[in-house]
Chains A and B, each alone.
Chain A
Amino acid sequence: MIDRRLVTNFDWTLIGIVSAICILGVLNIYSATVSYTPGSTPYYIKQINWMLFGLFVSIIVASLDYHILEDFSYWFYGFLILLLLCVLLVGKRSLGATRWLNLGLFSVQPSELMKIVIIVTFARYFNNYHTVGGLSFKDMLFPLGLLILPVIMIMKQPDLGTATLVILIAFAMSFYIGFRWSTIFTFIFVTIPLFWFTWSVYMKPYQKNRVLDFINPERSRLGSGYHIIQSKIAVGSGGFWGKGYVKGTQSQLRFLPEQHTDFAFSVFAEEWGFFGTLVLILLYLSLILWGLNIARRCNDRLGGLLAVGVTAMLFWHTVINIGMVIGLFPVVGVPLPFFSYGGTSMLTSMVAVGILQSISMRRFMF
């Protein structure tokens, strides 16, 4: 069953980069949660457990031939749509949004799984769909339908961040197949009037306000703008060498919101300075470029599509999260892969790495 070539072709670069980020992440979570009251298990220990479990899952995924994903893709898709429907009907509410589904033993966040499933679904679709000279607008109608259904359901939860990510991932994969210029223009001509119509006819003033706050957080100095100001102070006051490990005042005095999850990067930036953030960003950059390299080396259309999709997922998470904490992008609850505390994010990211590994190991087989 397990081919010897698979073992010799094991992608150590990939696993090396991921492990390096994970270890920095655990160190950072330790620092971010020192000031928390000692509860049951410390966060950094839990994160180590998630990381090890994630690696295990990733190896299992890697050992499977990714072509089986193609066979099951529409089944996955249908099942996920069903789960999303369940969330809307009987979901668990937390922090004002309903995202979790309680399955008795544990809870799952179907919107998180949807990211992987949309990659698999799109890969299958484009693998079997051939066009000459790039995708026309008509070619995009079916994939758009596949995309819009889950996006609407995720927005209903409401989870704007995940919905945006799902769209961006799907966009990256379509871009990889290639658009015609005419398709791009048609999109622009359809979406702009649609936005305008929604804005001026459908939305109520308070909803408009919320969107404006979202785009420009500093509009509301007392709401989310406050978090961004604090995060920028944390990052900026780090300077070149940082304040030193477990010595960040912004984080230790808990001026930062959710400092072990979405704002973990600010804690790191405060304590390790520009030097530290540069190292971390270079690690992420090499991970993404390596992922694209795997896609390039792969001789199989499906493999290329999957690798691009999975890499796009990691890329968008990274850019949106870091962009948010340094005040470039709107505030959306998007975690930094392998770095923010959280089991779901760790597992999804590790499954992504597993898929990349599976493609990389089999590059000589097709």
Chain B
Amino acid sequence: MAEAHPVGFQWVMEAKRRGAKVFHVDPRFTRTSALADAYLPIRAGTDIALLGGVVRYILDNDLDFREYVLAYTNAATIVSDQFIDTEDGDGFFSGFDPETGTYVQDSWQYAGHEGSSGSGHTAQERDSASGLAHESHGAQVGGQTERDETLQHPRCVYQILKRHFARYTPEMVERVCGIPQEKFLELAQAWTRNSGRERTGMLIYSVGWTQHSVGVQYIRTGAIIQLLLGNMGRPGGGVMALRGHASIQGSTDIPTLFNLLPGYLPMPHHAEHPSFDEWVDSIRHPGQKGFWGNARTFAASLLKAYWGDAATADNDYCYGYMPRMTGDHGTYQQVLNMIDGKIKGYFLLGQNPAVGSAHGRAQRLGMANLDWLVVRDLFMIESATFWQNGPEVATGEIVPQECRTEVFFLPAASHVEKEGTFTQTQRLLQWREKAVDAPGDARSELWFFYHLGRKLREKLAGSALPRDRALLDLTWDYPTHGPHAEPSAESVLREINGYDVTTGRPLSSFAEARADGSTAIGCWIYTGVYADGVNQAARRRSRHEQDWVAAEWGWAWPANRRMLYNRASADPDGNPWSERKRYVWWDADKAEWTGYDVPDFEKGKPPSYRPPEGASGPEGIAGDDPFVMQGDGKGWLYAPSGVLDGPLPTHYEPVESPVRNPLYRQQANPTRKMYAHPVNSVNPSPPQEHGQVFPYVFTVSRLTEHHTAGGMSRTVSPLAELQPEMFVEVSPELAAEAGLEHLGWAHLVSGRAVIEAKVLVTDRLAPLRVDGRIIHQVWLPYHFGFEGLVTGDSANDLFGISLDPNVLIQESKVGTCDVRPGRRPTGPALLDLVADYQRRAGMIPGGHAPAVTGDSEGERRGDS
């Protein structure tokens, strides 16, 4: 965190000043470790084993916050008798379909709900990364669930959890992760001691946790711990995601993703959602409990915001204009489609995949096979010049004179040169003013898209073709100002907030949304940010002039609520769990919820409320069910649906690992998304043979001095000079073994690429003893590329493409490689070296590791 989020780290230092003990778990000793009280080196890709160890420690020692767990989580809920755990299925849950490599989730459901909406086959959900749709809510549950308040029933979630994690002992943590038992116990004790009625603990993770073939399950394990310890919905608790750069939260709320629409409404699928009603019902699930029951009002209002007067109840608010998904349109599938000539044109904004994405060579080859490519960035980045200066030019794979892609580079305004909002990890929207004019032709994204749309509409103005109606009927009337006709960002914010169509009055709350076409809302969860016609995100009242929750600084979605599920900060009867942790409580005299924050609960629903038989929507949520967006109002220790690779997290080895999974015969996540394409390959891992060709583990991450793919730091002198060259960090032990010298050259080889780097020999990397073997890990920064003031080979070139099944994020934090002294070969010899390694490792281009692994290669259960 000190390394990648130095500004946020000031609060960790503040906590330390007040006596907090800081633990840091990382494959290498970083600037964060330097300031932590305890540093735990870990083998990259084994976090579920570590966190699972903490879960077991809590359950075995009865350290859970029992009252909270019993009332607010699904610990007591009984699960279907058809469910089989990985402990009994040798690494598989029940319902695995080897044909597609995905699960049928019927048997994971609560008892009596086997056929409910969360059940069914998940192959298509994986293709559309539908796990993302659950960012703001869980899946649905219909009707009442069977419970055992004594937690003794063998199929209650509590007992299932206990059995599932029984083998994640301190000994196993040491064996899998390489973390000494006493260090692990120190961590587990500190975490549990600082949770409960009087104290809460917070879990902070960064994007590196997500970039694994089991990334979503990493976070699930953290969430299970936080629920068991009563750290959710309470001040000082929670799971916080530190994003990779500004407003990443904003770009999922109003998404730059293929599968989502604003406010986490799913993008329609051509086969699943042929009509407006079918689309809406797939979101709200008629008869289900919870707050998604109002989905129709959000959906109709969004379409009304898109198509204004043209959108009417009679034409289903122009639902027919909506684009439809036909399968996997994720960024990696797109790159392979480019290589295969299936994609002709591409817009690239604020992203540098030639350096920043996994398998850089595939990225560059894909972009070199387009008709046109539009790059908007602050600097001439690698993704704009790959056709001219990329490494494939040296190897002869791209010939500049013959490269067919026409690249248009358009200079972009930076964040200080345009106005708008940033949404940070706490869902807080903060308005920023424009400080200076952008230089030369540099323009804002808003300017670009507004005028692009305007010109397209002008060109199509006379068209009678039905296919052009969607564009021509769009509301596209933002006021502009200044010499460049810059659209008003505030008018866009007003549209996002939503307004009454007849009067134009900005809405104050999404409860005002209507399904009859009388309201238009650009993003329903943001409704209220422009309440009363005031830009609430621009509020800057000092913390010294308000209470500690500081509700008048910026604006948080939803409804300016600073903490989600804050009903859980009070006990089932509505009283604070403790004075110290008082936050939101039931005021019996006024018969309403009150507190420092906006209560995340129906204001007048008393703690004693019990839903009548057959109630659905919000009425189905009881007065002591704080997790109101979940179908059963409970925090999910066990997820009967919504997570495609299992209702519980399970340790699988990374896709490329030198270690055989010590827990199950199943080596890696069997549901991971794999791409069999000639450009893609995966280094062999046990039980496959020839893994020793790539004996070392490598991991990549950031340096404080650089920003992501380097476009904004390698181009700026005061930053570039602070980390001027690509390097690899190795332990003194590995340096001796591989013959590497400090400040000398080394090259690293994977089945995809070979890159070179200067060597830094440092004690900050230490070999780990794992299962009786010594595992060497090396670390690389991923910032370098071939443009800018300082250049170097790109670490991400080493990775292949294997994705998490829930959100289609690539495993780009761990892989295997070989490390050799000296510089890499150049020209065609470079390709020969990679080919030689592929041959020695028995790798077939386009082939991939088996999804299902038995004791040896011959014993596979199936190969998808």
Q: Does A associate with B in a complex? A: no
A: residues with CB less than 8 A from B are: none
